Amino acid sequence: MEKADITKTIVELTVDKVLIDMETDVERSIRNIVDLGQNFSNGRFQKYFFEIAQKMLENEESPYYQHAKNIITKVNHETLKTFGINLGYNGCTNGAKQIRENEKKYRFNIPWTIAFSMKSPQNKITEYEIEKVISQGEKLGIYVYLIFCPTSKIQQAVYLLKKFPDCAFVIFLEGEFIKTQIVEELYKYHNFMISILSESKEFLKMAGFLTENGFLYAVHSFYNDNKFAEIITGDWIKRALRTSSTFAFLIKEKLCSFEVKKEVRNYVLRVREKQQYPIFLMEFTSDISYINQIISEDSHSIGFNSNGQLYTSAGEIDGKNNNLLKSSLREILKKNMPINVSGKSLL
């Protein structure tokens, strides 16, 4: 058995014990989870994250402390274990190590996570094309994937959950309430977190159902210049706080101005620094990019739209060779993220 496999087994056994201990002492178990994370943290990102978590636990009046207790008591423990290990160990520890090794080997930067959009009615990419990319991504050390899709296509996402049990998925849903038969499919898997659109008509109904059934879930919204006031006044996050969601994601729209994005980012940082609300708020683009750069310097976030075309935070990148239907993931990364002789990415 390889060292990585032994370490993962030790982590799994320890998490199992912590989850059992939670039944009698939730607060102590939270501290044990953070201590466990620090003990197995090797990379910069993991150490940074758990240092923040320990600092948070010093203040028992912190809204984050209550938030952690709510998650532990309301979310299915098998989901907490599986998603947590897939994200924290596979994605941020072992996966990050693989990414750095493969960057040296192949001489191109490798992103920590990849996003896929299946939102368009004329969707050209299917779960099978995405499956090919994830299969290639795992070999490079990428274990975290973001799927944007309407609830009508949730079964395509379920196919991916089944195919890749070692990956962590965040499924960004839009549209009507999740039907019971679809949810029954989701019950079988624990390697994902759902995020629901706060502007959906049945937003609160869906959130209540997910809470009642022990799902790990988040809330998201797409913002532009017109939504700026609603965000910085706190009106938007108050809507998110009516749920038991773990995260609140603010996602910049294409036409949003640089100035508004910067102000929203500053607002998010202030809220987190003050530990102002019992929910973890993120400016999606900036925070994902920040994690990428901690794990691998000069790395960039990437995604593929519903036509299979590559995009980054700077926008869509044209060309058939930048389309997952025409090229392999390695070919796309080699073309767009080569590392030059100085060791810096050219993108």
User: pLDDT 10s per residue in the chain (347 long)?
Assistant: 465 566 666 666 666 666 666 666 666 666 766 666 666 556 555 565 666 666 666 666 778 777 877 888 889 989 988 998 899 889 888 898 899 999 999 999 999 999 999 987 677 899 999 999 999 999 999 999 999 998 888 889 999 999 999 999 999 998 777 776 677 788 889 999 999 999 988 899 889 999 999 999 999 999 999 999 999 999 999 999 999 999 999 999 988 999 999 999 999 999 988 888 889 999 999 999 888 888 877 777 899 999 999 998 778 898 889 999 999 999 999 999 998 655 555 45
Count of structural domains within the chain: 2
Three-state DSSP state, 283: strand
184/301 same-domain check: yes
Residues 175 and 311 in one domain: yes
How many CB atoms lie under 10 A from the CB of residue 198?
A: 22
Q: Do 160 and 204 fall into the same domain? A: yes
Q: Please name the residues in contact with 244: beta carbons below 8 A apart, sequence gap of 6 or more.
A: 70, 74, 207, 211
Q: 182 and 259, same structural domain?
A: yes
Radius of gyration of the chain (CA): 20
Within-domain flag for 155: yes
**Ramachandran angles phi, psi of 252, nearest 5°:** -65, 135
201 belongs to a structural domain = yes
Assigned domain for 290 exists: yes
Q: Are 132 and 38 contained in the same domain?
A: no
Co-location of 221 and 111 in the same domain: yes
Domain assignment present for 94: no
In a domain, residue 101? The reply is no
Shared-domain flag, residues 209 and 324: yes
Strands 113-117, 192-197: pairing is unpaired
CB of 251 within 8 A of CB of 222? yes
Report yes or no on 210 lying in a domain.
yes
Q: Kindly state whether residues 22 and 148 are assigned to the same domain.
A: no
Are both 330 and 236 inside the same structural domain?
yes
* 2, part of any domain: yes
Q: What CATH number is associated with residue 293?
A: 3.20.20
Quote the domain boundaries for residue 185. 106-336
Do 45 and 121 reside in the same domain of the chain?
A: no
Q: Do 318 and 258 share a structural domain?
A: yes
Among 74, 93, 128, the domain-final residue is: 74
18 and 65 part of one domain:
yes
